[in-house]
Amino acid sequence: MVATAVTVNRAVAEGMDAADPLRGLRRLFFRADPQLIYLDGNSLGPLPAATRDYLDDVMLDGWGAGLVRSWETWIDWSRRLGDRIAAHALGAAPGEVALSDSTSVNLYKLAAAALDAAPGRRTILADADDFPTNRYILQGLADQRGLTLIPLRSDPSLGLGLDTLRDALGSDVALVVLSLVSYRSGALLDMAEVNAAAARAGALVLWDLSHAAGVIPVRLNASRADLAVGATYKYLNGGPGSPAFLYVRGELQHQLRQPIWGWFGQRDQFQMGERYSPRDDIDRFLAGTPPLLSMAALGPALDVLEQAPVTELRDKSVRLTELAVRLADEWLMPRGFRLASPRDPARRGSHVSLAHPQASLLSRALRSRMNVVCDFRAPDLLRIGTTPLYTSFTDVWDGLDRLRRLVDDRGHENLPEATSRVT
């Protein structure tokens, strides 16, 4: 047992909850187990309470009664929902965001379109520590086209340094692909600075906003962002596998052609014309029929999100992660943990990563023995995710308190063999 002076007692966290202007939003989510501490909204956001009835209506009235006639209404949902996400979460204009496919597929489509638009340039820059799907897709594109992919070395805890990027930007760079918030460390980049540096070098930037949309006030238009993609099942709470968003700056849209020439991108789609001729708007980046029921779930999720300006969500998110860092300093650092996220909240997204040699076991034991869900990322990270729409300050306090007790009781040392493929 490690003796440490606790200066933030639970009453302090309770006081922060009582003073939290967003505390009422928590009850808009379904809670099966009130004792569960859920600190993994950065992986999968929770179920908004209204989603179930709404999906029932879409199924029964739309699919059941309306049958194929309902496509008259459904056909615009990708854009309508895209416009809502653009306005509330992304700082983009109507007609610049659409929902389609997965983040992986959208990243492929937009990266390929950007590369095709710069045939004289043969280099792609990406963060060597970016989420695997992004790295793999770029490896594939570079291999298939004989291009050079340069992985930029970033600090595992602090993220990519702007100087590293600036040094690599040259006249041969066609495309830069970066996550605004790192899935590992939570490190947050300066979007405007990156866009400006890339624009000076004549390169396009494709952002992955999966860990930013809904918690960071993203300003795509104000920072003159070119392209972006992102998941909707994390902080946007669209549910497992909900379709991803893609953004293309208005004036770039007609210059870019994506590689999947499907009928949802086709001008006069129902004319069933002989040759592919893409639309002039954001729909040209669509491919095929969207997963309608999954897309529908974003409606009630956005109803919840729109109740709080993202600046307020950010404000609370900073205070939640500050509390997590402070408690980690007091309780966990003396027990062998290390902060693997930026200490400066201005440089951090909405999760905090803690490195520990037994992080995998700790994550499993937290779930099975302490009723706390966070997650593990290889090789040694525990990610503590806070979602300001529903995470309370007492959740953070209780979650880290249970972690501290788990370590003291060695509750992670005699776990049964892992059986799940998922961490």
Ligand X SMILES: Cc1ncc(COP(=O)(O)O)c(C=O)c1O
> For residues 148-187, which are near ligand X according to CB under 6 A?
179, 183
* Candidates 40, 101, 208, 401; catalytic one: 208
CA atoms within 13 A on the CB side of 405: 11
Does the footprint of ligand X cover residue 232 (CB under 6 A)? Answer: no
Does the footprint of ligand X cover residue 103 (CB under 6 A)? Answer: yes
Beta carbons of 327 and 402 less than 8 angstroms apart: no
Told to judge if 234 belongs to the known catalytic residues of this protein, a careful annotator would answer: yes
* Candidates 131, 264, 285, 337; catalytic one: 131
Residue span binding ligand X (CB under 6 A) among the ranges 64-72, 131-139, 335-343, 387-395: 131-139
Q: Which is nearer to ligand X, 284 or 383 (CB)?
A: 383
CB of 111 to ligand X, least distance (A): 13
Query: Of residues 4, 70, 102, 164, which one binds ligand X by CB under 6 A?
Result: 102
Does the footprint of ligand X cover residue 210 (CB under 6 A)? Answer: yes
Q: Which is nearer to ligand X, 108 or 337 (CB)?
A: 108
Told to judge if 53 belongs to the known catalytic residues of this protein, a careful annotator would answer: no
* Structure tokens, 349: 């997204």
Residue span binding ligand X (CB under 6 A) among the ranges 150-158, 191-199, 205-213, 365-373: 205-213
CA distance 57 to 104: 30
CA distances from 125 to 14, 136, 171, 207, 417 (A): 45, 13, 12, 12, 40
Q: Is the peptide bond before 357 cis (omega within 30 degrees of 0)?
A: no
Told to judge if 383 belongs to the known catalytic residues of this protein, a careful annotator would answer: yes
In 102-147, where do the E strands start and end? 123-127
* Structure tokens, 369: 């023995």
Q: CA-based diameter of the chain, in Å?
A: 75
Does the footprint of ligand X cover residue 387 (CB under 6 A)? Answer: no
* Structure tokens, 190: 């300066």
* Structure tokens, 50: 């209204």
Residue span binding ligand X (CB under 6 A) among the ranges 109-117, 158-166, 207-215, 220-228: 207-215
Does the footprint of ligand X cover residue 133 (CB under 6 A)? Answer: yes
Query: Of residues 231, 320, 366, 396, which one binds ligand X by CB under 6 A?
Result: 231
CA distance 412 to 409: 8
* Candidates 108, 233, 337, 390; catalytic one: 233
Amino acid residing at 183:
Y
For 54, other C-beta atoms within 10 Å of its C-beta total 16
> Using CB under 6 A as the criterion, which residues of the chain lie in contact with ligand X when the complex forms?
102-104, 131, 133-134, 179, 183, 208, 210-211, 231, 244
Q: Mind telling me the catalytic residues?
A: 131, 208, 233-234, 383
